[in-house]
Amino acid sequence: MRLIKKLLLQTLTVSIIILLTQYAVTSISLTDNPLRPPATNSPRTTLSGFMNNMNQAYRLIMEAQQQSKRERGLWHSQTVQRKGYEAELALDRAIDALNLVDIPPINRQDFGTESALMLKEILDRLKLPPVNMIPSTNDVVSQSLTRWEVPGSEIAIQLVEEGFDVNEFLFTPETVKRIKTFYELIEEYPYYQFNPWKTSPGFYRFYITTPGHLLPPKWNRWLPREKNTILLYGQTLWQWFGMAIITFIVFAIIFGVIFLLRRYVNIANPYKKVWLELLIPAFTLWMITFWEVMIDEGINITGTLLQNILKLSTIVEGSVLAWLAFMLFNAIGSTILLNMCQESTSLEAVVVRNGVRLLGVLAGFIVFYTTSQEIGIAVGPIIASFGISSIAIGLGVKPYIENLVGGLTLFLNRPIKIGDFCELGGVIGTVEDISLRSTLIRTPERKLIYVPNTVVSTSQIVNHSKRDKYFFDQTLSLSYDSVHEELGHIMENLRNMLAQHPKLSEESISIASLSHKIINLDIFAYILTTDLAESIFIQDEILLKINQILDLTGAKVLALTVSNKTESSSVIPIHYKNVTDSFKL
């Protein structure tokens, strides 16, 4: 196992060193300002700027190639790198003459490079008009010119009327889309040597048959010469072979490292486990990015194949990034829960658990939106196109949102917590769980009832677990014949008994009603406890003492019932039914 880890580490280290040293760019001081955009205020300046920049890039690359062949070593010298960098700048300035507004951002740079090279090949084979015959800035103003086509072709330069490149003359998006078709039609034709601008023979084929981006690395001397290279579906044989090897190595490393990481994560403690699991998507994302760079910048896959690879890799990277974002929020939430007391019974834990999940899902949607924009899928119009159906969707989602709001209300107001004995939404029982959508109640009959939070937040909540004391409120029905002479003495004894009890307060005994048959006495007192079981025990104790006092006087008890002025006994379980039955005649 150690040998495998060491081998993987060495392979990655060597690959990174090669990649960084190969594409390192030395700081260069240029005489021209690289930030100054090319002039595109007329068809003449646009076409002239494009041709001059392409010729400059071609000249610099060819000079760099010849100089690099004469020099020894495995890497380009600083002089060669400087020429390659200047060629890149010239090529980028030429690409600025193309209107790439319809090209997905992820493909824009590579597509623009190939389109500029093919367009130069096309224009080198056409008979272009003299420079003074191409509309200038004065012609544009005097003739209100907005479009010009290259004579004898459908290649057009048009004024951009909106967007980032507004008021610039650029090669139209339609022209850009058809450049490959134009190139395939004119590829076998000879170069026209009498144009105002020099030709750059074989520039496009040189680019697509050599590794690297524009300036090939020095090891390309061992590859077949571009003139003798056979293209298979737009790529050379060595490019197909190199792509297969790199793909196999990269994904073998991904699966191997994930296997090793999972074995290590499974034996880690819970605190480390949630964070170590982030290494899996993070490493996968890094390796996929590395694979994409090697395919694009290393072996230089081009054309439609590269565009599809970039779209696919962007989708995969977006999915892995969404996975990483969700796991990151999950790790944060798990860390909070592990450091909380009684995380399985606290409302804070419920909110944290569900809140981080919502944040993870939100992060996933943001990544999805960004990825869609990169690959050229306009999500906004798709969402707007729902129209009336979005209303139905909104109505369907409304109860879910109301339940979420109800859950947040419970968290902010904290009227109940897990373990409380409550009455809410017409349901009585013990709260066993509170989620963002519903509250789980265990009834005295041991039933589980899910009460939507929208019902909980809009209904009256009676939390019996938060009462500061219980009360004893009973009506004692006595026979008039047995107690009318001793009524005062009985009431005095009952008052003394209640007053002497250490767990009672605000005791009172009063005559509720009096007739020639029945005397009803109201007995009231607060029980000084917040524990339900203790309150039931004290109630039983009081009832037994009442029974003893009445036995001494010979009073006949007709009934002992809960007072009608108080809440029903079904709300607070009263377990003295057997005691009261003994009082009845």
Q: What is the pLDDT of residue 407?
A: 60
DSSP classification of residue 427: E
Q: What is the pLDDT of residue 27?
A: 36
Round to whole Å and give the CA distance between 104 and 119. 20
pLDDT digits (tens, 9 = 90+) for 154-192: 999 999 998 888 999 999 999 999 999 999 999 999 999
Q: Which CATH number fits domain 468-581: 1.10.287.3510, 3.90.1650.10, 2.40.170.20, 3.30.70.100?
A: 3.30.70.100
pLDDT digits (tens, 9 = 90+) for 409-420: 666 566 777 888
The owner of tokens 């994930």 is: 258
Rounded to the nearest 5°, which phi and psi values hold at 543? -65, -40
SS3 310: helix
* Residue 24 pLDDT level (bands cut at 50, 70, 90): very low
Round to whole Å and give the CA distance between 215 and 222. 15
Question: pLDDT averaged over the chain?
Answer: 81
Termini Cα distance of the chain: 87
Residue 387 backbone class (left: φ over 0; alpha: ψ -120 to 50; beta: rest): left
Q: What is the pLDDT of residue 112?
A: 95
Q: Assess contact for 170 and 155: CB atoms under 8 A.
A: no
Q: Class assignment of domain 395-465?
A: mainly beta
Round to whole Å and give the CA distance between 171 and 100. 9
Residue 402 has pLDDT above 80, yes or no: no
Dihedral, CA of residue 53, residue 54, residue 59 and residue 65, to nearest 10 = 120
Span 511-528, average pLDDT: 86
Using alpha carbons, select from 124, 123, 234, 116 the residue that is nearest to residue 176.
116
Round to whole Å and give the CA distance between 42 and 158. 9
Span 86-92, average pLDDT: 94
Q: Assess contact for 559 and 580: CB atoms under 8 A.
A: yes
Q: Assess contact for 299 and 213: CB atoms under 8 A.
A: no
The one-letter amino acid at 288: I
